[in-house]
Amino acid sequence: MPAQIFPLYGYAVGVETVGVETVGGETAGVKTVRAPQPAGEIDQITLVGLVLEAASGLHRAVSAPLERHCELAGQDFDILIRLARSPGSRLRMSDLAAQTSLTPSGLTRAIDRLAHAGLVSRQSCPEDRRGAFAALTDAGDARMREALEIHRAQLAELLEGALDPEEERALVTALRKLRDRVNPGASVLTPTDATTEARL
């Protein structure tokens, strides 16, 4: 009886796909077969894998120095930079939760910690009595300016020679499109507050 190949996952991984070879109903071994792919097309599994691998590497590279030199854990830096780059250096708590992908309780704990450190304050929201803003304090602004100076120098060294300016612009455009499709909450901003440009 001729051997048969049954794909394990039901989709091709671009270059090769893995299948189980059976003879007479018994497993005879695992065999890889080249998956067909139209000329010029980019395998999306490879694309997403590269994005995730690059993001993981960048996160490892930048987190430790920020925590060591500025006493800012990755989560704290993410919150503070979003506040620093927002109109009036503040965001509604609901918008901040959406942008950081934190749960409401997780964000509350993080803001409590930053408020205790004097870097963030809570402000009431006139349009919504149940809502509140998280706002960067003067101390938080100073800490962020220090952190951003270190962060920019670190990124300049890390990315030197990796991409030319045209490639960087194209990558920013492509990643923004991808972000807006798969994680639209990362850029959410209540319309009434989107009236001025980012400060930094």
Domain residues of the chain, as ranges? 4-34, 44-188
CB-count burial class (<10 Å; 0-12, 13-18, 19+) for 169: exposed
With 0.85 as the threshold, say if the pTM is over it. Answer: no
CATH class, 44-188 region = mainly alpha
- Count the neighbouring beta carbons within 10 Å of the beta carbon of residue 110: 21
- Once rounded to an integer, what is the mean pLDDT over residues 109-123? 94
Segment 15-25, tens digit of pLDDT: 444 555 555 55
Strand-pair category, 120-124 with 26-34? unpaired
pLDDT score of 53 more than 60: yes
